[in-house]
Amino acid sequence: MAEDAKILLGAFIKPVGLLGEIRLAPEQGIRGLIRPEVLYQLRGDRYFPWFLRSWKALEDGHFLIQLEEVDSPEQAKPLCGQPVWVDENQVEYDQESDGRTDLIGYRLRDQDGREVGVIRDILDNSGQWLAVVDVEKREVLIPLAEENILGVQDQERFLVVDIPSGLLDL
């Protein structure tokens, strides 16, 4: 059975209340969730599940999440700041989304086919898109100009980019 594609949903930001609920800030362009039962934490190249007890959308666009096995603010606090993934088919996008968030979660490869990392975010820097990728424990911004994109494989979820010489060495 093929594994569903995962997409970065957002990050846990703070415990709320006394029952271990956690506020989650979604990535830009994500408006809602469609019947999620599981959220995932990425460790290395594997996804580990967090089963949901409940969730609800808040008026400010954030979500209030209750995870199984998290019953207190003390158990929730270590999760704060952690990115969270969800099955791609369970995300509802803003209608005005420009599509760039579709690349979040794709593996980025250089022109020689070497994997650089997973695209964690896409920034719009005055009309030029930049992929945010963690490379050797540091954040690197990689330009995604049309002439630099050598290939996109949606089914396998990777993007091949001609990365400017020396950019990964900075």
Write the pLDDT tens digit of every residue in 56-72.
Answer: 998 888 999 999 999 99
Percent of the chain with pLDDT over 90: 31
Q: Sorting pLDDT into bands at 50, 70 and 90, what band is 159?
A: confident
- Look at residue 96 in the predicted model and tell me its pLDDT: 54
Q: pLDDT tens digits for 6-55?
A: 888 999 999 999 999 999 999 877 888 888 899 999 888 889 999 999 99
pLDDT at 105 over 90: no
pLDDT at 100 over 70: no
CA distance 148 to 144: 6
Q: How far, rounded to the nearest angstrom, does the alpha carbon of residue 70 sit from its chain's CA centroid?
A: 22
Amino acid making up residue 140: V
Q: What's the pTM?
A: 0.55
CA distance 144 to 30: 21
- Look at residue 2 in the predicted model and tell me its pLDDT: 46
DSSP state of 71: -
- Look at residue 89 in the predicted model and tell me its pLDDT: 85
Q: What is the mean pLDDT of residues 139-147?
A: 85
